[in-house]
């Protein structure tokens, strides 16, 4: 089938999906509904720990990426509902060798929750690597180039930094969760004075709050009051609360402003407050990973309901007696709940969505793709076979298999409904000892691919977390992979002609793990020597959600990269 054409999918899935390629936008069970309303979540994928800044008529978002490179994803929107990816703050995780392809020991750490600032004509991004320190990077334009990360404090227990430039007082501040206080046996929120250029802390900070698991603080100054939004575990639910004071150091009034409510199984909190141009207020928050109560705490293992990751919800905010009222309060207890459908904040903009599809015809890799740890750049190419992504095999670190194999590339699962990915891969360049194919992974990995034996025979293999099932010898140069899911139930199919698909391997369950939701992509390694390659001709993804122009464009935002 020629590139640019949509392929037919099974009747089981076609009812929920529309194949649009680069044509008209589609709507789905979440996001922009095309009638002036939206359904939450607005980003039904792994977009956690966001912060949002407005510049002109455009809104910009950052979201954490842990051990993936490039790091700290950047998105933009003109209506707070339809978001597209415009790049990343960090091309590589350069501050520690653990993130290199020859180490690959940075799982679960790396780029955690951060803060995006826009002040004095410059952009600033702050984040904490819990194994390394507090870092910041700055740029003249949101699209970069961003400076090499500056370490503001080495080896810290902190998480979730946020900055605030008080133009009235001509003083900058940084607030963060400073870790557990042994006296209070609760997290301490500490406020630091920061240099006006945003590059240095000026004191040791002052503790302004203690709370159980209190974190994710953000500072806003509105009508003479300082408001500090943060999340805290209260009565088994991670609630959103607000501190208010005329002084940034307090004393503070405290109010719980949002809780889980009916119809939502996961806690709702932690996000960004933003004001639209006409004056309305909005709050973008995440669903946290679902937790099981273990030994009296809620710091236990995650359950399966969060397999898509931590999605983003947008809710209206009203002000009453100087306090924000988040969402709706259906039970009348004075604490807001999230909303499931609402009128869009800003009308008139088209449906759009983060990029997914890729024909690999662009000069640069699309911003939807991220590598597992830093890639080895001499082992992948978009130019050696134009129109394809070539992945060259590396030997895994310490012969460690999938988790230690460099240059695994993937993107986020989109939505929790039905989804279908189809990929065409040329396997003619594979060599003995090589394994390569399609992968789904987060805390687990499930692979469908080709393994090459000593005699050069290429055999189909299904690998579920190390449990391998062998299939037939593949004598064609091209194989088509298809990955399907219906909710968290997933399975693989393959084809040798792009028309007739056969299932292979058992059905498996998608899971959250290593702080990330399920991801879809490609793996390639060689257990013996760095030889062999595959050429990925395309990746086409249909899912039950919005899909706009950008979803089918490679490496570009639907509106073009901003000069701001």
Q: Which are the catalytic amino acids?
A: 49, 215
Q: What is each CA distance from 551 to 82, 291, 350, 357, 395, in whole angstroms?
A: 11, 32, 13, 6, 33
Rounded Cα–Cα distance for residues 453 and 266 (Å):
46
Residue of 215, 210, 214, 217 lying closest to 183 (CA atoms): 210
Could you tell me which residues come within 8 angstroms of residue 42 by beta carbon, excluding any fewer than 6 positions away?
A: 30, 31, 32, 80, 81, 82, 83, 284, 312, 313, 314
Residue of 477, 435, 468, 475 lying closest to 452 (CA atoms): 435
Tokens 């399609």 correspond to 438
* Collapsed DSSP state (helix, strand, coil) of residue 152: strand
Residue of 3, 2, 1 lying closest to 357 (CA atoms): 3
444, HSE (Cβ side, Cα atoms, 13 Å): 14
Q: What is each CA distance from 122 to 116, 144, 175, 487, 557, in whole angstroms?
A: 11, 10, 20, 42, 21
Q: Give the start-end residues of each E strand in 304-454.
A: 312-320, 323-326, 341-343, 370-372, 380-381, 389-392, 409-412, 418-426, 434-441, 445-452
Rounded Cα–Cα distance for residues 311 and 43 (Å):
6
Contact 403, 104 (CB under 8 A): yes
Rounded Cα–Cα distance for residues 274 and 264 (Å):
23
Could you tell me which residues come within 8 angstroms of residue 543 by beta carbon, excluding any fewer than 6 positions away?
A: 17, 28, 356, 414, 415, 417, 418, 419, 420
Give me 561's structure tokens: 């990269």
Ramachandran angles phi, psi of 190, nearest 5°: -120, 140
Helix (H) or strand (E) holding 218: strand 215-222
Rounded Cα–Cα distance for residues 80 and 60 (Å):
9
């Amino acid at each position: 089938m020629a590139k640019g054409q949509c392929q037919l999918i099974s009747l089981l899935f076609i009812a929920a999906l529309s194949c649009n390629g680069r044509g008209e936008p589609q709507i789905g069970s979440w996001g922009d509904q095309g009638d002036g309303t939206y359904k939450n979540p607005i980003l039904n994928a792994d977009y956690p720990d966001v912060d949002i800044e407005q510049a002109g008529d455009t809104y910009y978002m950052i979201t954490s990426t842990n051990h993936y490179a490039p790091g700290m994803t950047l998105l933009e929107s003109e209506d707070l509902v339809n978001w597209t990816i415009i790049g990343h703050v960090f091309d590589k995780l350069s501050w520690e060798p653990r993130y290199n392809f020859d180490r690959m020991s940075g799982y679960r750490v790396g780029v955690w929750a951060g803060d995006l600032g826009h002040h004095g004509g410059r952009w600033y991004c702050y984040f904490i690597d819990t194994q390394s320190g507090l870092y910041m990077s700055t740029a003249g334009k949101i699209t970069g180039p961003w400076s090499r990360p500056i370490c503001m404090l080495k080896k810290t227990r902190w998480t979730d930094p946020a900055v605030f430039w008080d133009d009235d007082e001509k003083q900058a501040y940084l607030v963060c969760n400073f870790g557990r206080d042994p006296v209070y046996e609760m997290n301490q929120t500490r406020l630091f004075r920061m240099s006006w250029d945003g590059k240095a802390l000026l004191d040791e900070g002052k503790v302004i709050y203690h709370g159980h698991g209190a974190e994710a603080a953000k500072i806003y100054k509105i009508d003479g009051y300082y408001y500090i939004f943060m999340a805290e575990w209260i009565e088994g639910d991670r609630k959103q609360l607000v501190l208010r004071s005329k002084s940034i150091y307090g004393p503070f009034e405290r109010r719980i402003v949002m809780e889980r409510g009916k119809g939502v199984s996961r806690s709702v909190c932690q996000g960004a407050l933003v004001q639209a141009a006409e004056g309305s207020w909005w709050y973008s928050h995440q669903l946290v990973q679902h937790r099981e109560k273990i030994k009296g705490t809620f710091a236990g293992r995650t359950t399966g309901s969060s397999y898509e990751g931590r999605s983003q919800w947008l809710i209206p905010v009203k002000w009453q007696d100087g306090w924000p009222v988040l969402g709706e309060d259906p039970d009348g207890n004075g604490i807001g709940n999230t909303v499931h459908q609402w009128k869009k904040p800003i009308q008139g903009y088209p449906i759009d969505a983060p990029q997914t599809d890729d024909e690999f015809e662009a000069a640069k890799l699309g911003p939807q793709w991220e590598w597992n740890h830093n890639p080895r750049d001499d082992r992948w190419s978009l130019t050696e076979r134009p129109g394809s992504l070539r992945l060259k095999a590396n030997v895994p670190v310490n012969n460690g298999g999938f988790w230690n194999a460099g240059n695994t590339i993937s993107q986020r699962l989109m939505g929790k409904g039905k989804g279908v990915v189809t990929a065409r891969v040329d396997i003619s360049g594979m060599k003995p000892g090589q394994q390569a194919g399609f992968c789904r992974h987060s805390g687990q990995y499930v692979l469908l691919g080709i393994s090459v034996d000593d005699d050069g025979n290429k055999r189909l293999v299904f690998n579920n977390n190390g449990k391998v099932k062998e299939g037939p010898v593949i004598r064609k140069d091209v194989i088509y992979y298809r990955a399907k899911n219906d909710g968290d139930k997933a399975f693989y199919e393959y084809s040798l002609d792009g028309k007739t698909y056969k299932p292979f391997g058992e059905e498996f369950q998608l899971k959250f793990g290593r702080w990330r939701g399920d991801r879809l992509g490609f793996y390639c390694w060689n257990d013996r020597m760095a030889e062999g390659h595959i050429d990925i001709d395309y990746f086409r993804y249909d899912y039950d959600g919005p899909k706009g122009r950008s979803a089918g464009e490679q490496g570009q935002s639907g509106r073009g990269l901003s000069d701001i």
